């Protein structure tokens, strides 16, 4: 058999990948490419990458520019996967990234190796199949960031930014569908505010992926002048924080501040019309494309509010309210630090219970259950993630990744 005949008779067994659910064999040269793309776009991302790395024909098919948009459309209608970020003093390096690829988010946990042997010290965010990672190394006077597609394997390095003197800093990462741009937002804040030391011109900086320089955006709004955490949710092209927005009759009033990535301005967003969500902090997330707010109330019930129409106060509705206690071998309850991650395709709500477990709330059965996952690390942060076959470098061609 000559080489040409061997290529024509090449058969690829997708079941070689233990994470694949596709127990099929494809005779690559007997099927039209359109049918092959329909089959491939329905497979888990881990199976596609296995196919790409173990077959010359698979490499050519996965690299075809017609497949990434088909795969994106498929994953946008399925359950989001998860990216887990874990800190473990007993491992080298201590910071690890993991991926969960499962239709019901209860499958195998797989470690992700950062590119070029980079050491990650923080997961800034995830958006449209890309991760923004903060890296260890480089000058002590600068901060190194990387935009990375863990499944295509390529990355785009963000130019170093000089560290804020005597200040702490946080980053946010997002995409705006109107402009088709990915941006990184950098905020510096003083642990102990000294008004005389504040440099209004550099407190907020923005970097647009595909450009070469950070741009100064001026001062923070008064509502963000205290300790600042990373943003909680990316909705409608805006990053969102929960922060104290003023004083009321009984103390601090908590509200929502956003940074709109197209016009690069801060705004105050209407908060849920609930006294408990005004007098106490809460967490934000995205549920079915809408801004959502959640918190444990008096240890009696866990409330989830959803803003059905963005920026419209009257559209806030209490979507779920349920008993935080749930059965199991060790009966437990949701902690005050529990957060909503995302909605699943079957109608359940996925939550992180503190920093050590994942649980799902079933609104039909009105019960919470712990999800069992092999290899789940301890003390982790979890983010929803829609895997992509688009190259990170393709973000230079911004229209390629613009959401339809």
**Residues 237-275 pLDDT 10s:** 999 999 887 665 566 788 899 999 999 999 999 999 988
Binned at pLDDT 50, 70 and 90, residue 44 comes out as: confident
Average pLDDT on 189-194 reads: 61
Q: Are residues 34 and 179 in the same domain?
A: no
Q: Are residues 70 and 91 in the same domain?
A: no
Select the highest-mean-pLDDT range: 110-119, 185-194, 326-335, 371-380.
371-380
Q: Are residues 62 and 189 in the same domain?
A: no
Q: Is the pLDDT of residue 25 over 60?
A: no
Q: Are residues 32 and 84 in the same domain?
A: no
Torsion angle of the four alpha carbons 194, 197, 200, 203, in this order, in degrees rounded to the nearest 10? -80
Task: Give dist(CA 171, CA 141) in Å, integer.
Answer: 16
Which of 74, 95, 113 terminates a domain? The answer is 74
Average pLDDT on 43-58 reads: 83
- pLDDT reported for residue 339: 94
Q: Are residues 60 and 94 in the same domain?
A: no
- pLDDT reported for residue 298: 85
Would you tell me how many other CB atoms lie within 10 Å of the CB of residue 169? Answer: 16
Q: Is the pLDDT of residue 375 over 80?
A: yes
Q: Which long-range contacts (CB under 8 A, 24 or more apart) does 244-252 make?
A: 248/278, 248/279, 250/279, 251/279, 252/279
- pLDDT reported for residue 4: 39
Q: Is the pLDDT of residue 21 over 60?
A: no
Tally the domains of the chain: 2
How does the average pLDDT of the chain come out, rounded? 80
Q: Are residues 32 and 102 in the same domain?
A: no
Query: 215 or 76, which is more confident?
Result: 215
Percent of the chain with pLDDT over 90: 31
pLDDT tens digits, one per residue of 281-316: 899 999 999 999 999 988 889 999 999 999 999 999
* Cis bond upstream, residue 335 (ω within 30): no
Helix, strand, or coil (residue 263) = coil
Q: Which residues are paired to 317 by β-bridges?
A: 306
- The model's pTM is 0.85
- pLDDT reported for residue 252: 74
Q: Are residues 247 and 384 in the same domain?
A: yes
- For 63, the domain range is 3-74
Q: Are residues 85 and 50 in the same domain?
A: no
Q: Is the pLDDT of residue 5 over 60?
A: no
Q: Is the pLDDT of residue 349 over 90?
A: yes
Percent of the chain with pLDDT over 70: 79
Which of 74, 96, 111 terminates a domain? The answer is 74
Q: Are residues 243 and 163 in the same domain?
A: yes
Q: Are residues 293 and 203 in the same domain?
A: yes
- pLDDT reported for residue 167: 73
Q: The tokens 């480089």 sit on which residue? A: 138
Query: 342 or 219, which is more confident?
Result: 342
- pLDDT reported for residue 400: 40
Average pLDDT on 88-93 reads: 72
pLDDT tens digits, one per residue of 131-179: 999 887 655 545 688 999 988 888 888 887 776 766 778 899 999 989 8
Q: Is the pLDDT of residue 198 over 90?
A: no
CA atoms within a 13 Å half-sphere pointing along the CA-CB vector of 402: 10
Query: 21 or 145, which is more confident?
Result: 145
For residue 234, which of 215, 258, 208 has the smallest C-alpha distance?
258
Which H/E stretch holds residue 4?
Answer: helix 3-8
Q: Are residues 260 and 287 in the same domain?
A: yes
Select the highest-mean-pLDDT range: 32-41, 80-89, 306-315, 348-357.
306-315
Query: 3 or 344, which is more confident?
Result: 344
Which of 23, 53, 74 terminates a domain? The answer is 74
Q: Are residues 70 and 83 in the same domain?
A: no
Average pLDDT on 109-116 reads: 81
What CATH number has the domain bearing residue 336? 2.120.10.80
Q: What is the CA radius of gyration of the chain?
A: 23
- pLDDT reported for residue 362: 93
Query: 196 or 299, which is more confident?
Result: 299
- pLDDT reported for residue 50: 82
Beta strands in 63-180, from DSSP E residues, in sequence order: 81-87, 95-100, 109-112, 120-127, 130-135, 142-148, 155-162, 168-176
Query: 94 or 132, which is more confident?
Result: 132
């Amino acid at each position: 058999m000559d080489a040409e005949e061997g290529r024509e008779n090449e058969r690829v067994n997708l079941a070689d990948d233990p994470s694949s659910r596709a127990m099929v064999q494809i005779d690559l040269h007997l099927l039209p490419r359109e049918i092959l793309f329909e089959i491939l776009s329905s497979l888990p991302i881990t199976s596609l990458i296995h196919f790409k790395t173990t077959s010359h024909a698979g490499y050519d098919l996965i690299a075809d520019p017609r497949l990434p948009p088909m795969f994106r459309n498929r994953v946008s209608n399925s359950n989001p996967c998860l990216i887990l970020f874990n800190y473990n003093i007993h491992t080298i390096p201590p910071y690890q990234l993991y991926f969960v690829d499962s239709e019901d988010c209860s499958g195998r946990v797989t470690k992700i190796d950062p590119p070029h042997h980079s050491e990650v010290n923080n997961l800034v965010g995830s958006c449209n199949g890309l991760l923004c990672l903060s890296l260890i190394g480089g000058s002590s006077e600068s901060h190194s960031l990387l935009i990375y597609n863990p499944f295509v394997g390529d990355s785009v390095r963000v130019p170093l930014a000089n560290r804020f003197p005597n200040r702490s800093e946080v980053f946010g990462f997002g995409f705006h569908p109107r402009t088709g741009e990915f941006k990184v937002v950098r905020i510096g804040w003083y642990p102990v505010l000294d008004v005389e030391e504040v440099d209004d011109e550099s407190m907020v900086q923005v970097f647009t992926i595909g450009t070469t320089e950070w741009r100064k955006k001026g001062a923070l709004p008064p509502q963000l002048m205290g300790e600042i955490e990373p943003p909680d949710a990316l909705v409608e092209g805006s990053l969102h924080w929960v922060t104290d927005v003023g004083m009321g009759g009984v103390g601090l009033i908590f509200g929502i501040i956003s940074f709109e990535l197209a016009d690069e301005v801060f705004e105050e967003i209407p908060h849920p019309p609930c006294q408990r969500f005004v007098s106490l902090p809460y967490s934000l997330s995205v549920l079915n494309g809408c801004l959502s707010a959640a918190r444990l109330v008096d240890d009696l019930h866990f409330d989830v509010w959803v803003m059905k129409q963005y920026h419209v106060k009257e559209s806030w509705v209490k979507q779920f309210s349920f008993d935080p206690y749930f059965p199991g071998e060790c009966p437990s309850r949701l902690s005050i630090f529990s957060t909503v991650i995302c909605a699943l395709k079957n109608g359940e709500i996925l939550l992180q219970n503190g920093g050590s477990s994942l649980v799902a709330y079933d609104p039909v059965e009105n019960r919470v259950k712990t999800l069992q996952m092999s290899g789940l690390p301890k003390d982790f942060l979890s983010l929803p993630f829609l895997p992509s076959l688009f190259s990170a470098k393709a973000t230079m061609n911004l229209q390629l990744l613009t959401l339809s």
